[in-house]
Amino acid sequence: MVELSSLLDGVANGCIEGSDRGLHYGDGLFETLAVRAGRPRFWSQHLARLTAGCIRLAIPAPDPALLRAEADRLCATQTQAVLKIVVTRGSGGRGYRPPLEAVPRRLLSLSPWPDYPASWANSGVQLRYCRTPVATSPALAGLKHLGRLEQVLARAEWDDPAIPEGLMLDADGAVIEGTMSNLFAVQDGALWTPDLSRAGVAGLARQRVLALAQRQGIRVSEGRLTPADLTQADGLFLTNSLIGLWPVRQLEGRIYPIDPLIRQIAEALREEGDG
């Protein structure tokens, strides 16, 4: 039996058309979900972000019940895996103008769970700065859209397997995020994270940390952070839906201790369980 690894509009291992606007213009959105014990985690949050993104791009959002049924079909036999959902505006015409008659497409695909060393979550990771800047684009800021060439260029800048992530800055020198994660700094018992109103992806794990901080009465500020600010921080950490939280052990030459607040947040995130 061929293992079911993708569904295109509900069809097993289907092929996307050459005229799809996701392929031509990055005209679409995606979600990356952790799958545990046959279930996609934090489903309702991923669905809400996908739906909000579709509204911003004026792409008709997929039917939630249909999407969930397809996700369940794919994930049912998986103990641990990654589910990626891609929604494109569909096929349509030559030229940028979105055709009214375009029918959105949805592609759900499974990948193996990335076997990151457990030490990265426990003892922290080594980070570097990327040379590739993130473009400032208020129209796209926050969205998990398909145009990821900046991240592709940034991630091609290094191949040291001991460095799992690089930080990206905007053209004005403000730190925005990692190539695949969001960044938090700890200073005097409070959290700082880059403002994402002009660039970057508003990650769901970041959102969970913000909500948790609010519940636990931890002060959080979203604002402009520079590399100089990061050298002054008591600690740093990264978040995304697959890694959860990685403390930062080293950024370029600076060694960071794992601040007790980072341990506290990591523990609370773990306790959130299956979402």
Q: Which stretch binds ligand PLP (CB under 6 A): 80-88, 106-114, 179-187, 260-268?
A: 179-187
Beta bridge partners of 170: 134
CB-nearer residue toward ligand PLP: 32 or 193: 32
Q: Which stretch binds ligand PLP (CB under 6 A): 51-59, 187-195, 201-209, 225-233?
A: 201-209
How far apart, in whole angstroms, are the C-alpha atoms of residue 175 and residue 230? 9
Active site residue 17: no
CA 137 to chain centre: 18
Q: Which residue in 155, 241, 249, 256 binds ligand PLP (CB under 6 A)?
A: 241
Q: How far from 182 is each of 78, 79, 157, CA to CA, in Å?
A: 27, 26, 19
Q: Which residue in 78, 88, 91, 181 binds ligand PLP (CB under 6 A)?
A: 181
How would you classify the pairing of strands 190-194 and 182-187?
A: antiparallel
Interface characters, 143-162, with ligand PLP (x: CB under 6 A): --------x-----------
Report the residue closest to ligand PLP, judged by CB.
Answer: 203
Among left, alpha and beta (phi > 0; psi -120 to 50; other), residue 252 is: left
Active site residue 222: no
Q: Per rule CB under 6 A, is residue 182 in the interface with ligand PLP?
A: yes
Active site residue 31: no
The DSSP secondary structure of 157-203, one letter per residue, reads: T---TT--EEEEEBTTS-EEEESSSEEEEEETTEEEEE--SSSSB--
CB-nearer residue toward ligand PLP: 102 or 199: 199
Q: Which residue in 47, 206, 233, 237 binds ligand PLP (CB under 6 A)?
A: 206
How far apart, in whole angstroms, are the C-alpha atoms of residue 84 and residue 260? 33
CB-nearer residue toward ligand PLP: 42 or 256: 42
DSSP state letter for 220? E
Q: Which stretch binds ligand PLP (CB under 6 A): 61-69, 75-83, 185-193, 198-206?
A: 198-206
CA 224 to chain centre: 20
Q: Per rule CB under 6 A, is residue 180 in the interface with ligand PLP?
A: yes
Interface characters, 27-56, with ligand PLP (x: CB under 6 A): -----x------------------------
Backbone phi and psi for residue 219, each to the nearest 5 degrees, phi listed first: -70, 135
Q: Tokens 């606007």 belong to which residue?
A: 21
Beta bridge partners of 32: 84
Q: Per rule CB under 6 A, is residue 201 in the interface with ligand PLP?
A: yes
Q: Which residues are catalytic?
A: 32, 144, 177
Q: Which residues bind ligand PLP (CB under 6 A)?
A: 32, 151, 177, 180-182, 201, 203-206, 239-241
